Each structure stands twice: as structure tokens, then as C-alpha cells.
């Protein structure tokens, strides 16, 4: 196998825009083409918008067969943008650019790779989305969410970056989390190899590095009261009191219990890490948006105690509840903006 800077992942039914902007990872940016006036200055003619919440619908390729949950007529294949906009991010120290291609997803790295499995794992390109979606309960809210967000996937992220990011997420909007995480990487991360004439990019700093930061240094990244939590968790992990790699061999409940010993990690953040980093697909993080979805889509005009709603989520959505959760979250946030 020869080394190359580019690779094609043969996968269908994958919506990059929805997946990378749906609040599970915080370092992806959509690259909008510059007006092409004059020569590109930096970044090879791509610029970063200040904020983007995926209003663009990337074309999802149709399913090969079996389609599942037929929603009346054949799904609309939008021509959308003739050339799908690429996305840029950093995956365990690699600068990565992704874009839709005719036969799947095309990836580009700054450094030639011989083995792309690490990226396949991250993107979860081997997951059969139709099987996941068919395991959902056949109800109206999920049918609407799946119809609107088809191609939305779950990533499989490195545990520490995922954990630290979600410690920083509490009562923050996604655009702010992106900003805070960006500052943390810029200030404390290591420089990452990028294509020539591309702006500087930094890795997510490991727990040891953040543990040796002062709380004031962390607060300077605009994270406020979360600084103490992040430092405390980084210290416990640096000291080996919690071994994030060892959680992989645990049951979901054992891993959750371990995460809950970390400062700043409660049920919701623990479930985010269980789902987005360890792949426990029964984990069902409930934030304000998902709570809103449960109340107004499943129990409209009824006062149901939060405790009871949690009990509901634990049993109702099945073995891939975490995927259902992500569809409800993204659907509420993007397609049901009202409050």
C-alpha cells in the first residue's frame, strides 16, 4: 500500500455538514470559497466564516438498497451546491480536509498516509446507517427528524478531547464552545502539519499539558467557572486516577461511574463522552434541546417530571438510542428553531 495525501472513503448516506456541525465535535469549519477575485491570499482560496450552522444541505447520496422507513416518495436528491464545500478539522493531531465526492467522502491530509483506518474509525464510515435508523421506534417525531436530517452520523472521537470539550460545554452555545476550544488549542496545543501556504493549526493539548496550566491561564480562554473543572479533571487524569483508555474495556455503566468521579462531569456530560468517544450507543445525553424535544414532541401539553422523562429515554429508543438522541437534537436546533 502506497502513501498518499488523499483517500476516498466509499460510503453513502453520510451528510458531512450535518455530522460535523451537530455539536458533537467542535473543531470543524466549513470552508467557503473566496469570491475568487484576485489571487488567494492564505488557505488556498478558502476562508473561514465567523459562524455557521449548516444551513447548506449537502447532497446525501441515495442508499444502495433497502432504504428502510420509506417516507412516501423517493427521497429528494438535491443538486445543492455543484461543488460541495469542504470541511477542515484536526483529528488526533492530523490536519484533515473532507468533502463529498461522487462515490463517497474524499479526505485530504497534509502528511501522506499509508493507513487511513484511524480516520475511518473517527468518521464511522463502516456503520450501516440504514440498519441504525431501522432500529428506531417507528413514531412520528423520529420519522420527521430522520427525514429532515438523513445522513447525520455519530463520530468516534479521542476520549480526552471529547471529555475536555464537553466539560467546557456547560451552559454554552455551540459557537462559544468552538471559540473556547479553539483558544485552548491555540495557546496550549502543539503545532500541526498543514499544507503549504495554509495558516497555523494546533492540536488539542493532552491532559498533562492542561494540568500544568494555572486556572488563570485557562480562564483567559473565556471558559469562566469551567476552568476549575477542566484543571481538576486534567489533574486526575494526569495522575492516573482515571485511565481513559481503560474505560474502553468497561461496560457502559462502569465507564459512566468512572467519568462521574471527575469534577465538572455529571450525567449529561458523561453520556456525551460515552456516546461520542466510546461508542456506547445506548447512552442518551439530555440537554435543554433534547429535553425540549421530549416535552413538545412526545409529551405535548403535559407536565412530566424530568425524572420520568429520563426513565422514558432509558427504555423507549432501543439499542441505538444515542443516534436517535442526535437526530432529535439536530432536528430541534436546525429545523425547529422556535421556543
Residue ranges that bind DNA, judged by CB under 7 A? 22-24, 51, 166, 169-177, 179, 219, 222-225, 229, 263-270, 272, 285-290, 292, 305-307, 325-326, 329, 333, 339
CB of 67 to DNA, least distance (A): 26
CB of 247 to DNA, least distance (A): 16
CB of 266 to DNA, least distance (A): 3
Phi, psi of 185 (to 5 degrees): -65, -45
CB of 177 to DNA, least distance (A): 7
CB closer to DNA out of 93 and 224:
224
CB of 138 to DNA, least distance (A): 22
CB of 324 to DNA, least distance (A): 11
Spatial separation of the C-alpha atoms in residues 176 and 169, rounded to whole Å: 8
CB closer to DNA out of 198 and 219:
219
CB closer to DNA out of 99 and 295:
295
CB closer to DNA out of 100 and 153:
153
CB closer to DNA out of 159 and 285:
285
CB of 328 to DNA, least distance (A): 8
Spatial separation of the C-alpha atoms in residues 118 and 166, rounded to whole Å: 22
Q: Which three cell numbers stand for residue 85?
A: 464545500
CB of 260 to DNA, least distance (A): 7
Burial label, 218 (beta-carbon count in 10 A; 0-12, 13-18, 19+): buried
Phi, psi of 321 (to 5 degrees): -55, -35
CB closer to DNA out of 104 and 263:
263
Gyration radius of the chain's alpha carbons: 20
CB closer to DNA out of 61 and 290:
290
CB closer to DNA out of 209 and 268:
268
Amino acid at each position: 500500500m502506497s502513501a498518499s495525501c488523499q483517500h476516498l472513503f466509499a460510503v453513502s448516506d453520510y451528510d458531512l455538514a450535518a455530522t460535523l456541525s451537530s455539536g458533537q465535535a467542535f473543531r470543524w469549519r466549513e470552508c467557503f470559497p473566496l469570491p475568487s477575485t484576485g489571487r488567494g491570499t492564505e488557505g488556498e482560496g478558502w476562508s473561514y466564516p465567523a459562524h455557521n450552522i449548516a444551513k447548506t444541505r449537502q447532497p446525501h447520496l441515495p442508499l444502495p438498497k433497502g432504504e428502510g422507513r420509506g417516507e412516501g416518495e423517493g427521497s429528494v436528491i438535491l443538486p445543492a451546491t455543484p461543488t460541495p464545500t469542504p470541511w477542515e478539522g484536526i483529528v488526533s493531531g492530523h490536519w484533515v480536509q473532507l468533502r463529498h465526492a461522487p462515490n463517497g467522502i474524499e479526505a485530504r491530509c497534509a502528511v501522506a498516509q499509508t493507513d487511513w483506518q484511524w480516520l475511518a474509525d473517527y468518521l464511522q464510515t463502516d456503520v450501516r446507517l440504514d440498519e441504525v435508523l431501522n432500529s428506531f421506534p417507528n413514531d412520528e417525531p423520529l420519522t420527521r427528524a430522520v427525514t429532515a436530517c438523513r445522513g447525520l452520523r455519530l463520530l468516534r472521537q479521542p476520549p480526552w478531547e471529547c471529555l475536555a470539550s464537553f466539560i467546557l460545554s456547560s451552559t454554552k452555545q455551540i459557537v462559544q464552545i468552538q471559540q473556547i476550544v479553539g483558544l485552548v488549542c491555540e495557546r496550549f496545543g502543539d503545532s500541526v502539519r498543514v499544507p503549504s501556504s495554509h495558516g497555523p493549526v494546533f492540536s488539542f493539548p493532552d491532559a498533562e499539558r492542561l494540568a500544568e496550566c494555572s486556572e488563570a491561564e485557562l480562564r483567559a480562554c473565556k471558559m469562566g467557572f469551567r476552568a476549575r473543572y477542566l484543571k481538576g479533571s486534567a489533574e486526575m487524569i494526569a495522575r492516573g486516577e482515571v485511565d481513559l483508555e481503560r474505560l474502553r474495556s468497561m461496560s457502559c455503566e462502569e465507564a459512566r461511574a468512572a467519568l462521574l468521579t471527575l469534577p465538572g462531569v455529571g450525567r449529561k456530560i458523561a453520556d456525551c463522552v460515552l456516546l461520542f468517544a466510546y461508542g456506547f450507543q445506548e447512552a442518551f445525553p439530555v440537554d435543554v434541546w433534547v429535553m425540549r424535544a421530549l416535552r413538545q414532541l412526545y409529551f405535548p401539553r403535559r407536565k412530566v417530571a424530568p425524572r420520568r422523562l429520563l426513565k422514558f429515554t432509558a427504555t423507549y429508543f432501543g439499542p441505538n438510542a444515542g443516534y436517535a438522541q442526535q437526530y432529535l437534537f439536530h432536528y430541534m436546533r436546525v429545523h425547529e428553531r422556535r421556543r
